[in-house]
Amino acid sequence: MASNRGVVYLGPGKVEVRSIDYPKMVNPQGKPIEHGVILKVVTTNICGSDQHMVRGRTTAPTGLVLGHEITGEVIEKGKDVEYLNIGDLVTVPFNVACGRCRTCREQQTGVCLNVNSARAGGAFGYVDMGGWTGGQAEYVLVPYADFNLIRFPNKEKALEKIQDLTMLSDILPTGFHGAVCAGVGVGSSVYVAGAGPVGLAAAASAQLLGAAVVMIGDMNPERLRHAKSVGFEPIDLTKSDKLEELIEAVVGVPEVDCSVDAVGFEARGHGAQHVTEAPATVLNSLMAITRPGGAIGIPGLYVTEDPGAKEEGAKQGNLRMRFGLGWAKSHRLYTGQTPVLRYNRQLMMAILHGRLPIAKIVNATVISLDEAPRGYHEFDTGVARKFVLDPHGMVKKAA
């Protein structure tokens, strides 16, 4: 039998590369399927959402194979797969979606009704998302392949841009979704909370959509320097408790047209409170600075259970939000998993035609599968990098 290795969560702060089962054409309940493909993983990325689990901030079980950002080569397909061929290079949405249910038909693939018996929505290698094995591995099964996968039109050219195209599985569509939901358009003033990879992707998306000015806030000096180096206006949140003052110093008024939360539930306070965990602080600050009638895109992750929360209510996902402020200002708040299939084809074309150098913007850093534990450790320290795993050395060879 063919071998396989993957990145396995072993408890808070600990991941290892271990031997795992080679994928079979069965779903997590053991039922045989014929609509899937087995991929040789070309790239698979470490995501901030993975870090929430590895920090012990979710109910993720030990033994979970991590990884939901996958690009791969088809090496085996079920008899019901009609439109993909062996050897195709494909991008994999992190959403597992059936393509048949009501929500999938409405392009709400982040909340597919058929791939997770516990709740709406499925994902690879993630807690409470249906039990689908993760893709930080050498090989992985992808179900409902004809619906979910997009084949790159030219394999050779795609490999030349693989460090950009690997971002299509999650962070680029997620950042784009945040910007679109926030109503970003030509001439918009935009504030993005969080200068990690998703925040940088949201900022790049805002520029692509025509924003006049894009500010990005963080407390990490390295991330702020990098954000400035790739063309965004950095906002140092350690400088003031009031985000309005920091915004006004840049644009002359204490408000923006559009804002994006790319931080999520592990947020910390601003100014003197920047070392204190405050899970609702980003949402509250965005309601304070977003203009009346404006919108807030919230691609940052919020969980139903956070066993590591400092606040008792936050352990069950309850936040101290100033919802009345958002109501009074007629804000529109958009939350939830990004429906990747709604965006990834047009973003692929923007990359292939040189409009979106996302690998440079998020500082893609390629490492081997065996170096994954080091990548997790360094990413957790706040380095301004997006780690891309190269399980078979194909990225290195293409470079």
Q: Which residues of 299-332 are buried (b: 16+ CB within 10 A; e: fewer)?
A: bbbbbeebeebeeeebeeeebeeeeeebeeeebe
Do both 157 and 195 map to the same domain? no
Distance CA 121, CA 98 (A): 10
Q: How far is CA 150 from the centre of its chain?
A: 18
| CA 214 distance to own-chain centroid | 20
Residue type at 398 in one-letter notation: A
Predicted local distance difference test score (pLDDT) of residue 199: 98
Q: Which residue do the tokens 């970003």 mark?
A: 184
Same domain, 220 and 284: yes
Q: Is there a single domain that holds both residue 348 and residue 321?
A: no
* 193 and 317 part of one domain: yes
What's the CATH number where 309 sits? Answer: 3.40.50.720
258 lies in the same domain as 330: yes
Q: How many whole angstroms separate alpha carbon 34 and alpha carbon 25?
A: 7
Question: Do 277 and 364 share a structural domain?
Answer: no
Q: Where are the alpha helices (DSSP H) in the chain?
A: 48-54, 102-105, 145-148, 155-160, 162-165, 171-181, 197-208, 221-229, 243-251, 281-289, 323-328, 344-352, 358-361, 372-380, 394-398
Same domain flag for 347 and 320: no
The last residue of one of the domains, among 303, 334, 365, is 334
Last residue of a domain, one of 334, 358, 381: 334
Residues 200 and 101 in one domain: no
Q: How many domains does the chain have?
A: 2
Residues 218, 284: one domain? yes
CATH code, domain carrying 117: 3.90.180.10
Identify each DSSP E strand in the chain by its residue range.
5-11, 14-19, 37-45, 70-77, 89-92, 95-96, 122-123, 139-142, 150-151, 189-193, 213-218, 233-236, 256-261, 290-297, 332-334, 364-367, 386-389
pLDDT value, residue 44: 98
Domain limits for position 266:
175-334
One pLDDT digit (tens) per residue for the chain, 399 residues: 589 999 999 999 999 999 999 999 999 999 999 999 999 999 999 999 999 999 999 999 999 999 999 999 999 999 999 999 999 999 999 999 999 999 999 999 999 999 999 999 999 999 999 999 999 999 999 999 999 999 999 999 999 999 999 999 999 999 999 999 999 999 999 999 999 999 999 999 999 999 999 999 999 999 999 999 999 999 999 999 999 999 999 999 999 999 999 999 888 877 776 667 888 999 999 999 999 999 999 999 998 888 888 888 888 889 899 999 999 999 999 999 999 999 999 999 999 999 999 999 999 999 999 999 999 999 999 999 999 999 999 999 887
Q: Are 165 and 351 in contact (CB under 8 A)?
A: yes
Q: Are residues 314 and 248 in the same domain?
A: yes
Task: Assess whether 165 and 250 both reside in one domain.
Answer: no
pTM for the structure as a whole: 0.96
Residue type, 113: L
DSSP assigned state of 120? S
Are 260 and 359 contained in the same domain? Answer: no
Last residue of a domain, one of 334, 351, 382: 334
- With beta carbons less than 8 A apart as the criterion, state whether 258 and 295 touch: yes
